[in-house]
Structure 1
Amino acid sequence: MAGKRKADDVAFILGQVLKAMGITVGDRDSWPQLRGRASLAGEPYVYLGTVPLPTAQKLANALVHAESVRRVEA
């Protein structure tokens, strides 16, 4: 049960980050599914579901931009 709770917390935080980026979890055209789960052994994980290509591109662009900013500042 602790693994599921931990995974739910991570899924919630990820959902909040996506919301701040303008990506709506639960919207078919943005990010349909995001759920916290736990394996039978109790290991937590987050199920991301399928992500539409425009959303995946937006995330990839944000990650590339963040990495380039980090390298410039270092």
Structure 2
Amino acid sequence: MTTETEAAAQQADAFMAGKRKADDTAFMLTRVLAEMGIKVGERDSWPQMMGRASLSGEPSLYLGTVPLPTARKLIDALVHAESAKRRQP
């Protein structure tokens, strides 16, 4: 293989690894939200979420547009969890 071909193959591998990691994270977040009664894929709850990766392989999540009631529910849960965490000795 030429160095250009090797570099392209490495870049593709990095991208796929990042995409896999982002997809796994999106899946886990979807499961956590489902436990809270928030359903990803429903227009009134959480319309869209997907894993993405840059060409360098850096994973990220696209969370889409989240309706305000869903955002408030998530904020309340996070505030409650942080309060409980701080109360523990």
Give the TM-score range, shorter chain.
over 0.9
TM-score, scaled to structure 1: 0.96
State the aligned residue count. Answer: 74
- Paired position in structure 2 for 1:21: 36
TM-score, scaled to structure 2: 0.81
Query: Which entry has the higher C-alpha Rg, 1 or 2?
Result: 2
Unmatched 5+ residue regions in structure 2?
1-15
CA RMSD between the two structures:
0.6
State the identity %.
72
Residues 37-68 of structure 1, C-alpha deviations (whole Å, 9 max, x = no match): 10121111111001000000000000111111
Unmatched 5+ residue regions in structure 1?
none
Which of 51, 55, 58 aligns to 1:36? It is 51
Runs of 4+ aligned residues of structure 1 deviating over 3 Å after TM superposition are none
In 2, the alpha carbon distance for the partners of 1:44 and 1:70 equals: 28
